[in-house]
Amino acid sequence: MRAIFISYRRDDAEGQAGRLFDDLTEHFGDDAVFMDVAGIEPGRDFRRVIDEHVASCGVLLSVIGKSWLTACDESGARRLDDSTDFVRLETASALRRDIPVIPVLVHGATMPRAEDLPEDMRELAFRNGVELTHARWESDVQLLVKVLRPYVQSKQMPTRQERETTPPARSALAPGTRMGLAGVAAGLVLAAGSYLWHQRSVNEALAPKPQTGERVRNSVPARAPAHAPGAAPVTAPVSVGPPSPQSPREPRFATIWEIAQGPAWEARHGLTSEELQHELDTLAGQGYWLLDLSGYAVGGHERYAAIWQKRSGPPREARHGLTASQYQQEFDRLVAQGYRPVHVSGYAVGDQVRFAAIWEKGAGFAWVARHDLTPGQFQRQFERFTTDGYRLVDVSGYVRGGQDRYAAIWEKRSGPDWKTHHGMSVELYKQEYDRLARQGYRPVRISAWGAGNTTHYAAIWEKGEGSKWAAQHSVPSGQYQAAFSSMTRAGYQLMSVTGYQPGIE
């Protein structure tokens, strides 16, 4: 039995409901919280299925945003007036069974009046509610947790520390997984003890969810200018291996290259925060568009690598050096101005986590972004969003408190078949890279980070032919400029770069 059922309207409070789900599973465990009735078999009465799910819970949280009461369908009719509306079915079922229902107010929403609710929901107006605010989210959730404890089944739940040091059980893969990789993935997980999962091919992604930061201004000398003229293609080495014994913590780079005859481009690496800001301002004034941004640490100090292309495009905003709270804050502010995140880089500097990110202005398809997810949370979010038709377009791994964490972006749009894995060791990554390359997949995003005495990888691959490409996965910073120059002389253009500090192996 799941003790806590979260009811919400996706276009009203999807972001807050997802954040609340993550926080409550941290406190009560994965099996104690339920959100989203999915997988209803063909031929079954969805009203009965919802009623059965609600009947098995001990308390229902009704997440109410500003449009919860007034949301309308495509015909203009209010959704709550529809007897088959999921939110109405969930709430009315709990009230009819006298299951405790707690209104959870978000986005500054107020309690609905009884006269504004359908008859089978009017009791909701007389239930004591709680408010979750962005500024006091942590303390508000703690108060809610205390209220919920009596409703959670009395069984021994793992402590937060135990959950953060014990790998969570791997969830079932989303239906439709291609090429029978489930068996391969399971074997790899057993062999390496890493969190490795496989994603089916999908062609769409989901709706927005906040995360933010604060602008840091800087000034800079360029460290690695790059302009790639046309040249004969060459094959780049796939460098996957442990750090050299002479410099076990020397920063490394993972890169993706393409033979391209496109616009002029520039790349930099080893930039301080001030230097990066200077380059952002200078190159923007020269008509360059920020394509990629990666943060990493060198000797306990922040450094950055970035790529620009000289072309027009939707307005973009970049932020770097942000704490998690600053990132959430800036995320909220930019999303309110019509921007959506297109790239995020999480990285550890000493025992602190920082974020660098790029936002782009424009509507279009739906999207979702999350950060600071544990491996278990990441897996659950992944399965949830891909089931809803989203594709993972960006992922960044890093370590906080000795455990892998993830920041990711999903988009609901069409695209080529794709695969993704996370939490891979060097050996597992090389194995998957080679296997997928033989099947016609190419990497479009590589993330690497030091995790204790090893290095972990996360990557996204897409299937399809195109220009010749190459990837390098573990280039020491002392050799990066030479490798960079060799590739550009051969006519390759740098499309993606990730700087990272490897594990101590």
User: Please, which residues bridge with residue 403 across strands?
Assistant: 400
Same domain, 270 and 350: yes
Give the CA-trace dihedral at 323, 22, 382, 169, to 10 degrees: 110
Same domain, 153 and 206: no
Same domain, 123 and 239: no
Three-state DSSP at 411 gives: strand
Residue 177 amino acid letter: T
Report the pLDDT value the prediction gives residue 187, as an integer from 0 to 100: 36
Tokens 């990285």 -> residue: 347
Residue 169 lies inside a defined structural domain of this protein: no
Same domain, 152 and 213: no
> How far apart are alpha carbons 168 and 380 in whole angstroms?
11
CB atoms < 10 A from the CB of 464, how many?
Answer: 11
Residue 165 lies inside a defined structural domain of this protein: no
Q: Which of 243, 16, 212, 234 is nearest to 131 (CA)?
A: 16
User: Please, which residues bridge with residue 327 across strands?
Assistant: none
Residue 293 lies inside a defined structural domain of this protein: yes
Same domain, 113 and 186: no
Same domain, 119 and 193: no
Same domain, 68 and 132: yes
User: Chain centroid to CA 255: how far?
Assistant: 20
Report the pLDDT value the prediction gives residue 42, as an integer from 0 to 100: 66
Domain that holds residue 46: 4-157
Residue 266 lies inside a defined structural domain of this protein: yes
Q: Which of 165, 215, 217 is nearest to 193 (CA)?
A: 165
Report the pLDDT value the prediction gives residue 179, as an integer from 0 to 100: 31
| Strands 441-451, 391-400: pairing kind | unpaired
> How far apart are alpha carbons 222 and 486 in whole angstroms?
18
Same domain, 242 and 380: yes
> How far apart are alpha carbons 247 and 139 in whole angstroms?
44
Residue 164 lies inside a defined structural domain of this protein: no
Same domain, 445 and 405: yes
Residue 173 lies inside a defined structural domain of this protein: no
Tokens 């959670």 -> residue: 152
DSSP, residue by residue, 453-471:
TEEEEEEEEEE---S-EEE
Structure tokens at 106: 């978000």
Report the pLDDT value the prediction gives residue 215, as an integer from 0 to 100: 28
For the purposes of burial, counting CB atoms within 10 Å of the CB of 170, is it exposed (0-12), middle (13-18) or buried (19 or more)?
Answer: middle
Q: Which of 70, 65, 50, 80 is nearest to 15 (CA)?
A: 65
In 75-180, which residue ranges form alpha helices assigned H by DSSP? 86-96, 137-148, 160-165
Q: String of b and e for 233-266 (b: at least 16 CB within 10 Å)?
A: ebebeebbeebeeeeeeebbbbbbbbbbeeebbb
> What is the rounded radius of gyration, in angstroms, for the C-alpha atoms of the chain?
24
> How far apart are alpha carbons 386 and 175 in whole angstroms?
9
- Domains in the chain: how many in total? 2
User: Please, which residues bridge with residue 303 across strands?
Assistant: 296
Structure tokens at 488: 């550009």
> How far apart are alpha carbons 263 and 167 in whole angstroms?
45
Whether the CB-CB separation of 445 and 395 falls below 8 Å is answered with yes
Report the pLDDT value the prediction gives residue 268, as an integer from 0 to 100: 95
Same domain, 120 and 203: no
Report the pLDDT value the prediction gives residue 242, as an integer from 0 to 100: 39
CB atoms < 10 A from the CB of 10, how many?
Answer: 17
**Domain boundary residue, one of 108, 142, 157:** 157
Report the pLDDT value the prediction gives residue 275, as an integer from 0 to 100: 96
- Where residue 58 sits, what CATH number does that domain have? 3.40.50.10140
Same domain, 193 and 153: no
Report the pLDDT value the prediction gives residue 312, as an integer from 0 to 100: 83
Residue 163 lies inside a defined structural domain of this protein: no
Report the pLDDT value the prediction gives residue 2, as an integer from 0 to 100: 60
| Strands 339-349, 418-424: pairing kind | unpaired
In order along its 505 residues, the chain shows pLDDT tens digits of 468 999 998 888 888 888 898 889 888 887 788 876 544 566 777 788 788 878 888 899 999 999 999 999 888 999 999 988 989 999 999 999 888 999 999 988 999 999 999 999 999 999 988 999 887 888 889 889 988 988 885 433 443 333 333 333 333 333 333 333 333 333 333 333 332 332 222 222 223 333 323 222 222 223 333 333 222 233 343 333 333 444 557 899 999 999 877 789 999 999 999 999 999 999 999 999 999 999 999 988 999 999 999 988 889 999 999 998 899 999 999 998 999 999 999 999 988 999 999 999 986 778 999 999 998 889 888 888 888 889 999 999 999 988 999 999 999 988 899 999 999 999 999 999 999 999 999 999 999 999 888 899 999 999 987 778 999 989 999 899 999 999 999 989 999 999 999 987 5
> How far apart are alpha carbons 11 and 414 in whole angstroms?
21
In 388-452, which residue ranges form alpha helices assigned H by DSSP? 426-438
| Strands 252-259, 492-500: pairing kind | antiparallel
Same domain, 199 and 314: yes
Task: Compute the 3-state secondary structure of the chain and give helix, strand, coil in percent, each to the nearest 5.
Answer: 30, 30, 40
